[in-house]
Amino acid sequence: MITKEHLPIQFTGTGEVKGMKFSSVHLHPRVSLFKVSNGKTEHFEVFLRVYARKLENFAERRYSETEYKEVYPKAKEFGVRAWSFRSYDKAVERYKSLREE
């Protein structure tokens, strides 16, 4: 049986987005819209949902055949499967267009 672990509804970023606060605004099976804040400013990120196999054994680089986790897009994926908007309305437009594709 294949299982999928989804992104949390709210979380604090690590790595290249360390300290940023992420909050889910809209979720659809294919696409997500998150509000992103650094405490001073906020923007919105819309992205196609992607799942990767979960790592079972780091030393052996062995991945699960049945367990997957949703992954937030990396910086290099913006413009490809993810888009960033200052305007909530523009983010919702993109979210709706991706939902309908």
The 10s digit of each residue's pLDDT in 41-95 is 999 999 999 999 999 998 998 999 999 999 999 999 999 999 999 999 999 999 9
The length of the chain is 101
Domain ranges of the chain: 3-100
What's the rounded Cα separation, in Å, for the pair 7 and 61?
22
49-56: list long-range contacts, CB under 8 Å, 24+ apart.
50/81, 51/4, 54/5
| Closest alpha carbon to 73 in 47, 38, 40 | 47
- Cβ-Cβ contacts under 8 Å for 75 (sequence gap 6 or more): 16
pLDDT band, residue 28 (cuts 50/70/90)? very high
pLDDT of residue 43: 98
Query: What pTM, to 2 d.p., does this model score?
Result: 0.89
Residue type, position 87, single letter: S
pLDDT of residue 16: 80
pLDDT of residue 101: 86
